[in-house]
């Protein structure tokens, strides 16, 4: 059975997704157990795939026994295996976390449906990562997006429906652009297999059709990853979604989008085409720097913690794109590292905030006064995540920022260092506001803003163990991979080497 592992990784959550709502009708808890077990198995499977890839090189799986480029091929190399482990891990962690959190934030009758859609979302994300067929990538992109819209809209708050609708409109435009890009490529090459496309395309790099195709891909995927001027759907989606959904979306959805972007840029197309053919690197660099600065500036202006984290995500996407657009080995390595590192730290932050929402129902930063004493463990995890975002040494944030800075120097673009420093400073500003409120401001009961559930007097406990444990695990990993960075580093190096060929 081991040789079928690539397809099992997709089919297992897909089939479980349709079983989950039915099992939920028998007993509600059953659907949660299914999700936890399935995501745990997926994580184990992804680790096993990673070790196989490390031993034997890439794995190719032919669906229906059809030989590529005619059939759909699932192709796993260093890059996929790396991102796959991340997605499966976050999916598992958040699944454990979700139980308590969604019981409060979602109608009880909809819980089994929520878990079903959650598994569909995971299926879509893992499918995007695992497939070697570009049309298949589009299909999984749509599965993940549609499930994502539903996951946001399922929240009890009314604003969630509007946020989800905005995301639906923007996401559909993005997906349509990607589809148009695929259509253009198919028109000139007659192939949908990524490896096959990579061989056929160089002869056609002069063609206007191929250049148009790339433009469609670039814009479509930029919407999906919320690159700065196209980011409008993201803040409200993350803010009004249930806590668990914010966590998994912030940690994986845009990261997988970035993975798809990298795949299309470097596997389907070639770095040389992007630099000499269409001069993409400077354009992308401009938008990346803009995203970093604007994301950070907008984050400083927020009063709602979830919205602040969402805007900070937009800035962090800028980092990932910055590394890619430098188009050198260190830059791509830095980007890949940042995909993992940002997933870990943003995951920690959203999970910790979810704990506060669960106990106190507050998201306004002003109301966080004295929380450091009331919820010490959650707040410690939050602080670790925040330090990591700022880029303090010994945390993961430092490692990826270091690599991005070196890459900028290697490319001879010293002015990017200023952008990086400035944004780190802004990050410190907006996170310090939260930390200052948490630890150093005395609590003032008379000033709790309206709309929050006032339980402040009753001295709340820390978040429940099921929510606390995943938060601690991601926080510890933030520090662990910050100190022992060699494992993700070597993987990112191998992955960036195959990307630049």
Partner 1 sequence: MPENIIRRTIGGMLIPLIQLYALYVIAHGEGGPGGGFQGGVILGSSVILYALIYGVEATRKRIKQKFTDLLCSTGVFVYGGIGVLCLLAGGNYLEYDMLPLGTPEHSSHLGILGIEIGVAITVASVMITLFLETARRDEK
Residues that bind partner 1 (CB under 8 A): 1, 4, 7-8, 11, 14-15, 18-19, 21-22, 61-65
Which residues, in sequence order, are CB contacts of 490 under 8 Å at separation 6+? none
Contact (CB, 8 A) for 425 and 389: no
**Smallest gap from residue 28 Cβ to partner 1 (A):** 16
Q: Is 207 helix (H, G, I), strand (E, B) or coil?
A: coil
> Min. distance of Cβ 166 from partner 1 in angstroms?
20
> Minimum Å distance from CB 119 to partner 1?
12
**Distance spanning both ends of the chain, measured CA to CA:** 32
Nearest to partner 1 of 80, 496 (CB atom): 80
Nearer to partner 1, 65 or 442 (CB): 65
In the complex with partner 1, which residue's Cβ is closer, 114 or 481? Answer: 114
Token duo for residue 184: 């253009």
3-state secondary structure 460-492: CCCCCHHHHHHHHHHHHHHHHHHHCCHHHHHHH
**Which residue in 319, 351, 204 sits closest to 268, CA to CA?**
204
Beta bridge partners of 133: 193
Cα angle value 347/171/337 (rounded, 5°): 35
Nearest residue (CB) to partner 1, 21 versus 334: 21
Distance in Å, CB of 124 to partner 1, minimum: 14
| Closest distance of CB 425 from partner 1, Å | 50
Smallest separation (angstroms) from partner 1 to the CB of 83: 21
Q: Which helix (H) or strand (E) holds 141?
A: helix 134-153
Return d(Cα 286, Cα 227) in angstroms, integer: 11
Closer residue to partner 1 in complex, CB, 147/271 = 147
Q: Indicate the residue among 4 and 501 with the shorter CB distance to partner 1.
A: 4
Phi, psi angle pair for 133, to nearest 5°: -120, 130
Q: Is 155 helix (H, G, I), strand (E, B) or coil?
A: coil
Residues 288, 320: Cα–Cα separation, whole Å = 8
Tokens representing 111 are 């819980």
SS3 330: helix
Which residue number, 71 or 202, has a Cβ lying nearer to partner 1? 71
* Nearer residue to partner 1 within complex by CB, 4 or 27: 4
Closest approach of Cβ 53 to partner 1, in Å?
A: 19
- Short-list 57, 41, 37, 31, CA closest to 1: 41
Q: How far is the CB of 109 from partner 1 (least distance, A)?
A: 12
What are the tokens at 224? 């999906």
């Amino acid at each position: 059975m081991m040789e079928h592992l690539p397809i099992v990784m997709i089919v297992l959550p897909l089939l479980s997704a349709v079983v989950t709502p039915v099992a939920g009708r028998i007993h509600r808890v059953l659907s949660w157990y299914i999700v936890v077990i399935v995501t745990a198995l997926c994580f184990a499977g992804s680790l096993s795939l990673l070790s196989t890839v490390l031993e034997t090189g890439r794995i190719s799986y032919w669906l229906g026994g059809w030989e590529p480029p005619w059939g759909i091929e699932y192709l796993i190399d260093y890059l996929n295996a790396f991102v796959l482990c991340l997605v499966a891990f976050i999916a598992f962690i958040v699944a454990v976390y979700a139980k308590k959190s969604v019981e409060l934030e979602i109608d009880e009758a909809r819980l089994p449906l929520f878990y079903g859609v959650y598994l569909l979302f995971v299926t879509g994300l893992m499918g995007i990562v695992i497939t070697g067929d570009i049309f298949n990538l589009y299909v999984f992109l749509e599965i993940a997006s549609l499930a994502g819209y539903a996951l946001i809209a399922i929240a009890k708050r009314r604003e969630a429906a509007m946020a989800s609708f905005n995301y639906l409109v923007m996401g559909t435009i993005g997906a349509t652009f990607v589809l148009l890009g695929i259509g253009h490529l198919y028109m000139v090459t007659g192939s949908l297999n990524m490896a096959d496309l990579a061989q056929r395309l160089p002869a056609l790099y002069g063609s206007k059709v191929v250049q148009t195709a790339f433009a469609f891909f670039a814009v479509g995927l930029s919407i999906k990853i919320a690159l700065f001027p196209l980011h409008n759907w993201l803040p409200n989606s993350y803010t009004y979604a249930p806590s668990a959904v914010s966590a998994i979306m912030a940690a994986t959805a845009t990261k997988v989008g970035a993975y798809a972007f990298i795949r299309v840029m470097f596997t389907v197309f070639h770095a040389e085409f992007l630099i000499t053919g269409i001069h993409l690197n400077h354009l992308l660099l401009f938008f990346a720097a803009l995203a970093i600065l604007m994301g950070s500036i907008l984050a400083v202006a927020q009063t709602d913690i979830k919205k602040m984290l969402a805007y900070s995500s937009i800035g962090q996407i800028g980092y990932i794109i910055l590394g890619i657009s430098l188009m050198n080995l260190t830059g791509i390595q830095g980007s890949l590292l940042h995909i993992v590192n940002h997933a870990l730290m943003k995951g920690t932050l959203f999970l910790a905030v979810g704990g506060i929402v669960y106990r106190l129902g507050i998201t306004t930063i002003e109301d966080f006064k004295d929380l450091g004493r009331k919820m010490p463990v959650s707040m410690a995890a939050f602080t670790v995540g925040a330090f990591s975002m700022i880029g303090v040494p010994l945390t993961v944030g430092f490692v990826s920022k270091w690599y991005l800075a070196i890459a900028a120097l290697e490319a001879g673009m010293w002015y990017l260092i200023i952008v990086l420093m400035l944004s780190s400073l802004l990050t410190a500003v907006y996170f310090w506001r939260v930390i200052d409120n948490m630890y150093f401001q005395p609590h003032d009961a008379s000033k709790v803003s309206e709309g929050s559930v006032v339980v402040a007097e009753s001295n709340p406990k820390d978040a429940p163990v099921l929510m606390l444990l995943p938060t601690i695990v991601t926080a510890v990993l933030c520090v662990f991979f910050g100190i022992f960075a060699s494992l993700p580093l070597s993987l990112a190096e191998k992955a960036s080497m195959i990307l630049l060929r």
